[in-house]
Structure 1
Amino acid sequence: MEISKATEMELPHILEHSRQAIYEGTLGDVMPSDDKVKALISPLLERGCYYLLAKEDETILGWVLIGKTTDSFTDQDHGFIYELYVLEAFRGKGIAKQLMQTAVQKFKEANYKQIRLSAYVENQAINLYKKLGFKERTVTMSLNL
């Protein structure tokens, strides 16, 4: 398996699965339209975020979308994990861990002092994030009315 930056030709394949990635990442809470996915992802790519792809023999196994965010209180830049997704057929093989480790290395090389991400509280990926050293920093709460 190799992990490398996605090419322009690979983006349509990723975007084809982005609705499902968001749906699973929100634990079934949100199934966005294709237009909404494009509205969410396009600005990130335009400002320099990019996908790291895990591939084997030209088959895409999964990806992580990484980029920069700026803390609204301190104005400090941080690395940010916007999306982590492994196609269902390839799960349970450590691909997500390898993607995350590669993302962390990219952020280190870019001299970021901190990496942030956001996940729904019951998302199974939280266990991976904790194993990689991520700590809870904030809690977002909601109340259904």
Structure 2
Amino acid sequence: MDIRKSTDSELKQIMARSPQAMFEGTLGKVKPTGEKIKQLVEPLLKKGCYYLIATEDDKLMGWILIGENKDQFTDKRIGFIYELFVLEEFRGKGVSKQLLSSAIDRLKQEGYPEVRLSVFVGNPAIKLYEKMGFHSRNITMSLPL
């Protein structure tokens, strides 16, 4: 498996598949359009965020979107994982773990003192994040009206 930054043509593949990634990552609560994905991702890419992709035999297996963010209270620069997704046929083979490990290494090399991410309650990826050393930091609660 090769993990590296995405090319422009691979970025197009990712953007085309990102609505499904967000739908699954939000446990079916959000079904975004391609336009909404574009609105969310383009500003991140413009500020220097980037995708790392996992490939094997030139086949896209999954991706992780990483970059800078700021702590909302202190304005401290932190590394942030915005998205992690593995295509269904490659799940259960350690792709997520390798993408996450590569992302953490890169963010550390880029000088960030901390890496954060957000995840929906009930997402099975939480187990992986905890195994990799992540812990709950804050919880957003909701009251439907």
Identify the TM-score tier after normalising by the shorter chain.
over 0.9
The whole-number CA distance in structure 2 between the counterparts of 1:31 and 1:124 is: 19
Q: Which amino acid in structure 2 is aligned with residue 4 of structure 1?
A: R
Q: Which residue of 2 aligns with 1:142?
A: 142
Question: Which residue of structure 2 lines up, in the alignment, with residue 5 of structure 1?
Answer: 5
Deviation, structure 1 residue 67: 0.5
**Which amino acid counterpart does residue 136 of structure 2 have in structure 1?**
E
Identity rate, percent: 54
Q: Which runs of 5+ in 2 are unaligned?
A: none
1:72 CA drift (Å): 2.3
Name the CA distance, whole Å, in 2 between partners of 1:131 and 1:72.
26
Q: For 1:33 and 1:132, how far apart are their aligned partners in 2?
A: 31
Q: Give the alignment's TM-score, normalised by structure 2.
A: 0.98
Q: 2:73, 2:123 → 1: CA distance?
A: 27
The equivalent of 1:110 in structure 2 is 110
Q: Look up the match of 1:131.
A: 131
| 3-state SS in 1 of match to 2:9 | coil
1:58 aligns to 2:58 (yes or no): yes
Cα distance in 2 for residues equivalent to 1:24 and 1:114: 26
Residues 37-90 of structure 1, C-alpha deviations (whole Å, 9 max, x = no match) = 100011001110000000001100000000000112111100000000000011
Q: Extract unaligned runs of 5+ from structure 1.
A: none
TM-score, normalization by structure 1: 0.98
Q: Secondary structure at the match of 1:112?
A: coil
The two structures, once aligned, show a CA RMSD in angstroms of 0.6
